[in-house]
A and B are shown apart, each in its own frame.
Chain A
Amino acid sequence: AQKVTQAQTEISVVEKEDVTLDCVYETRDTTYYLFWYKQPPSGELVFLIRRNSFDEQNEISGRYSWNFQKSTSSFNFTITASQVVDSAVYFCALRPNNAGNMLTFGGGTRLMVKP
């Protein structure tokens, strides 16, 4: 069985601070994909990133960066110089290669960026 844990249910920061959202996963599969989604107040989930378990190289996209550590089963997401528009609920998800298209989502982390 798969499990994704986002221990931080809610984080509050002041604009321009850096913030890291934690994601820890459990799976017995050796190959899998990891994802991050953003859910702004409008409600629609927006795909942010996909990471293959074979690729542990960290990725940076503008103010967003992701740290994949297979040894600790973590896939953390850092926002640098946070902005009010980053306020949203962020979900981490896991899909083992043999799970069809079934994603297992974490419980989400609500990020509030205050001006």
Chain B
Amino acid sequence: SQTIHQWPATLVQPVGSPLSLECTVEGTSNPNLYWYRQAAGRGLQLLFYSVGIGQISSEVPQNLSASRPQDRQFILSSKKLLLSDSGFYLCAWTPPRPNTGELFFGEGSRLTVL
């Protein structure tokens, strides 16, 4: 069966520090991968998605970036965090197309920028 893990689960970082959140999917090949952010009390915002190694699409301009160095690994990074980067970050995957579209989410990473 397929599983998705992301870490760290919680992170407290000062403004201006770097960020690296990692997500790994197991039990499938060539998944589509996604990073979502959920600000406090708000809905889900798609940040990045990837259909293959090295292929990243950005949905929202910001100081965050994503990379996919391996087929089942998706990394969210920042060189200098802002206060507004605080939130709950969710990694998700779907099988490669064709598929019925439901996303399968990781456990989430809660980032607090002070």
Contacts and interface: CB of A to CB of B under 8 A. Distances in A.
A binds B: yes
Interface of A: 33, 35, 37, 42-47, 50, 52, 91, 95, 100-103, 105-108
A45, A47, A91, A100: residue with the most chain B Cβ atoms closer than 10 Å: A45
A103 B100 contact: no
A47 B104 contact: yes
Contacts of B103: 37, 45, 47, 101, 103
30 contacts: A33-B100, A33-B101, A33-B102, A35-B101, A37-B103, A37-B105, A43-B108, A44-B90, A44-B107, A45-B103, A46-B105, A47-B102, A47-B104, A50-B102, A91-B43, A91-B44, A95-B101, A101-B49, A101-B94, A101-B97, A101-B99, A101-B101, A102-B46, A102-B49, A103-B101, A103-B103, A105-B44, A106-B43, A108-B42, A108-B43
B86 interface: no
Nearest to B104: A47
B68 interface: no
Contacts, number: 55
B57 to A, nearest CB: 10
A17 B57 CA distance: 44
Contact of B32 (A42, A43, A47, A101): A101
Interface string B24-68: 000000001010000000111010010000000000000000000
Contacts of A35: 101-102
B110 interface: yes
Contacts of A95: 101
A43 B102 contact: no
A104 to B, nearest CB: 9
Interface string B68-109: 000000000000000000001010101001011111111110
B101 A43 contact: no
